[in-house]
């Protein structure tokens, strides 16, 4: 890792604040274009994804899936199985080892490979005229990219500060497995972690203001809710949070649902009601960098802020909150900032995944979004009991919905909820990217007994009853 001895003489072309996925993407892009970059740590190297987000959560979710898979073997006649957590500390330790390994290999050890990058890890940074101030010294750079990421948000509920709470980070650092948890929020972080902990043997309740995965299709939200309830989770949607207080070394949450007040108790409340940007102390207002009410930095399609020469990318900016989109936005920011680029942020064919089981994955517009955009909409909804792969696996939990323009037949979006939905959605993303129609997708050859074949069947459902097709006859 570089230190002051490696600092080149003179100013930098670009200063990047934040050494997570977005920060590294911006720095590497600029250096590969021949520029000199100061990469300022402003937190743990590697950022959210590798340290407390994607990597630790997905390995724990896979562990829970392995447990559930043993128990689910009984869906096949003649089979039975069981599993349990025998050493929670060992599981957490293995997760921590994986995080440390990837942080070293994918971040720290990459720095010496790029001579044009100087890594500065001297504490929090602050924007100043002509560059960045960090550790009591000024780093001069005509262009700056802010990529300081985000953190779990704390909901505004009376008494919440006085009860035992966890967030997506501290949940996976528990020294012992709790008996009960209440998850606040039904977004993707909440449903992923709630199902994972329930499969580990914890009694889990999810409470949310609207419904699970409120930004996706209601038919899919309904199907996921049914799956989680069948696994033993309690789902209370459409609630209003009233207050929280500590009781018997645990937490009590008071909510109102359908006009009735309910009091729920658990060892901890898990706060998964969204994320907040890390913008405090950066001096944004003094520099004329505009933020929204939550403190998120407003950027244009070129990733530029309202202050000339200052850009932002990743979870700190008002763009998609996915690690791959953070890296994508940061690459655009670097090209536009110091490589004479004129590129625009484009998420029209951006796939997204929720790592529940079944997985929920989608791309493009929902039916509601398409109607709001002025399209004459047609839709197709197909349950997985119409997909041969699901029948062979004796696992028909899931649903596919496609959205298309009724006039042109062009696909506008879709969601697939299936055990292998995450690995199937990219086919739909490519279909949208290249402007395919439902007819063209339905006529495309797909391999038999695959989950992705469900997209073909869903496309055919616009015009026919696929239940009347013989195997492979589509």
**What pLDDT, in 10s, does the model give residues 124-163?**
999 999 999 998 999 999 999 999 999 999 999 999 999 9
Contacts 24+ apart (CB under 8 A), 217-224: 217/362, 217/366, 217/367, 217/401, 217/415, 219/381, 219/399, 219/401, 220/360, 220/399, 220/401, 220/415, 220/417, 223/397, 223/398, 223/399, 223/417, 224/191, 224/356, 224/358, 224/360, 224/417
What's residue 103's pLDDT? 95
How does pLDDT run across 390-411, given as a tens digit for each residue? 999 999 999 999 999 999 999 9
Contact by Cβ (8 Å): 418, 384: yes
| Averaged pLDDT, 297-312 | 98
Alpha-carbon gap, residue 214 to 472, rounded angstroms:
35
**Domains of the chain, start order:** 4-46+107-152+276-338 (3.50.50.60), 160-273 (3.50.50.60), 352-468 (3.30.390.30)
How does pLDDT run across 50-64, given as a tens digit for each residue? 999 999 999 999 999
What's residue 9's pLDDT? 43
What's residue 343's pLDDT? 97
Residue 268 has pLDDT above 60, yes or no: yes
Known binding-site residues for FAD equal 58, 315
Instruction: Report DSSP state, residue 267.
Output: S
Known binding-site residues equal 58, 185-192, 274, 315
What's residue 4's pLDDT? 42
Angle of helix 323-338 relative to helix 21-32, nearest 10 degrees, comes to 30
Diameter of the chain measured on Cα atoms: 73
Residue 5 has pLDDT above 60, yes or no: no
Residue 405: strand pairing partners: 377
The residue among 270, 434, 446, 268 whose CA lies nearest residue 364 is: 434
Q: What is the Rg, in whole angstroms, of the alpha carbon atoms belonging to the chain?
A: 24
Residue with tokens 């929720």: 354
Task: Calculate ∠ Cα 15-21-27, nearest 5°.
Answer: 30
What's residue 43's pLDDT? 82
Alpha-carbon gap, residue 35 to 46, rounded angstroms:
22
What's residue 327's pLDDT? 98
Banded model confidence at residue 42, pLDDT cuts 50, 70, 90: confident
Residue 269 has pLDDT above 50, yes or no: yes
Alpha-carbon gap, residue 87 to 389, rounded angstroms:
35
Alpha-carbon gap, residue 287 to 309, rounded angstroms:
11
Alpha-carbon gap, residue 419 to 306, rounded angstroms:
43
Averaged pLDDT of the chain: 95
Known binding-site residues for NAD(+) equal 185-192, 274
Contact by Cβ (8 Å): 90, 46: no
The residue among 174, 204, 202, 176 whose CA lies nearest residue 190 is: 204
Alpha-carbon gap, residue 100 to 107, rounded angstroms:
10
Contact by Cβ (8 Å): 311, 132: no
What's residue 449's pLDDT? 95
E-assigned strand segments in 267-388: 268-271, 275-277, 310-312, 352-354, 359-364, 377-383
Alpha-carbon gap, residue 412 to 435, rounded angstroms:
9
Share of the chain above pLDDT 70, in %: 97
What spatial distance separates the first Cα and last Cα of the chain, rounded to whole Å?
Answer: 57
Residue 281 has pLDDT above 60, yes or no: yes
For residue 139 the two structure tokens come to: 């780093």
How does pLDDT run across 90-119, given as a tens digit for each residue? 999 999 999 999 999 999 999 999 999 999
Residue with tokens 């004796």: 394
Share of the chain above pLDDT 90, in %: 93
Contact by Cβ (8 Å): 302, 344: yes
| Averaged pLDDT, 215-242 | 98
Q: Is 130 helix (H, G, I), strand (E, B) or coil?
A: coil
Residue 474 has pLDDT above 70, yes or no: no
Contact by Cβ (8 Å): 148, 316: yes
Residue 278 has pLDDT above 50, yes or no: yes
Cis previous bond, 358, omega within 30: yes
How does pLDDT run across 178-217, given as a tens digit for each residue? 999 999 999 999 999 999 999 999 999 999 999 999 999 9
Residue 6 has pLDDT above 80, yes or no: no
- 35-56 per-residue burial string, b: 16 or more CB within 10 A, e: under 16: bbbbbbbbbbbbbbbbbbbbbb
Contact by Cβ (8 Å): 432, 370: no
- Give this prediction's pTM: 0.94
| Averaged pLDDT, 298-311 | 98
What's residue 272's pLDDT? 97
Banded model confidence at residue 314, pLDDT cuts 50, 70, 90: very high
């Amino acid at each position: 890792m570089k230190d002051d001895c490696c600092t080149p003489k003179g100013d930098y072309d670009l200063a990047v604040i934040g050494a997570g996925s977005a920060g590294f993407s911006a720095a590497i892009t600029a250096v590969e274009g021949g520029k000199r970059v100061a990469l300022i740590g402003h937190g743990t190297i590697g950022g959210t994804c590798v340290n407390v987000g994607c990597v630790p959560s997905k390995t724990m979710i896979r562990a829970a899936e392995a447990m559930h898979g043993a128990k689910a073997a009984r869906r096949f006649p003649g089979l039975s199985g069981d599993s349990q957590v025998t050493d929670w500390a060992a599981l957490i330790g293995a997760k921590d080892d994986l995080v440390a390994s990837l942080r070293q290999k994918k971040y720290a050890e990459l720095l010496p490979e790029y001579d044009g990058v100087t890594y500065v890890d001297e504490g929090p940074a602050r924007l100043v005229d002509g560059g960045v101030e960090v550790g009591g010294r000024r780093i001069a750079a005509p262009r700056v990219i802010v990529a300081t990421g985000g953190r779990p948000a704390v909901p505004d509920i009376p008494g919440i500060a006085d009860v035992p709470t966890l967030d997506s980070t501290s949940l996976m650092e528990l020294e012992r497995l709790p008996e009960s948890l209440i998850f606040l929020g039904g977004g993707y972080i909440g449903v992923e972690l709630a199902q994972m902990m329930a499969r580990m043997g914890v009694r889990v309740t999810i409470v949310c203001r609207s419904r699970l995965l409120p930004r996706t299709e209601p038919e899919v939200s309904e199907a996921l809710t049914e799956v989680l309830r069948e696994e033993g989770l309690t789902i209370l949607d459409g609630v209003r949070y009233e207050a929280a207080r500590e009781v018997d070394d645990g937490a009590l949450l008071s909510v109102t649902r359908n006009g009735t007040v309910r009091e729920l108790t658990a060892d901890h409340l898990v706060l998964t009601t969204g994320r907040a940007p890390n913008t405090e102390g950066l001096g944004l207002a003094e520099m004329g960098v505009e933020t929204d009410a939550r403190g998120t930095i407003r950027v244009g399609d070129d990733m530029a802020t309202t202050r000339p020469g200052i850009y932002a990318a990743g979870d700190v900016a008002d763009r998609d909150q996915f690690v791959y989109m953070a890296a994508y936005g940061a690459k655009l920011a670097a090209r536009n900032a110091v490589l004479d680029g004129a590129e625009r942020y484009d998420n029209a064919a951006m796939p997204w995944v929720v790592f529940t089981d079944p997985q929920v994955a989608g791309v493009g517009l929902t039916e509601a979004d398409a109607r709001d955009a002025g399209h004459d909409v047609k839709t197709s909804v197909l349950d997985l009991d119409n997909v041969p792969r699901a029948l062979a696996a004796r696992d028909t939990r899931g649903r596919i919905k496609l959205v298309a323009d009724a006039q042109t037949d062009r696909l506008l979006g879709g969601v697939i909820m299936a055990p292998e939905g995450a690995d199937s959605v990219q086919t739909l993303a490519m279909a949208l990217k290249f402007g395919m129609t439902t007819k063209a997708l339905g006529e495309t050859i797909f391999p038999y007994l695959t989950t992705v074949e469900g997209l073909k069947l869903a496309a055919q459902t616009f015009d026919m009853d696929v239940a009347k097709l013989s195997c492979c006859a589509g």
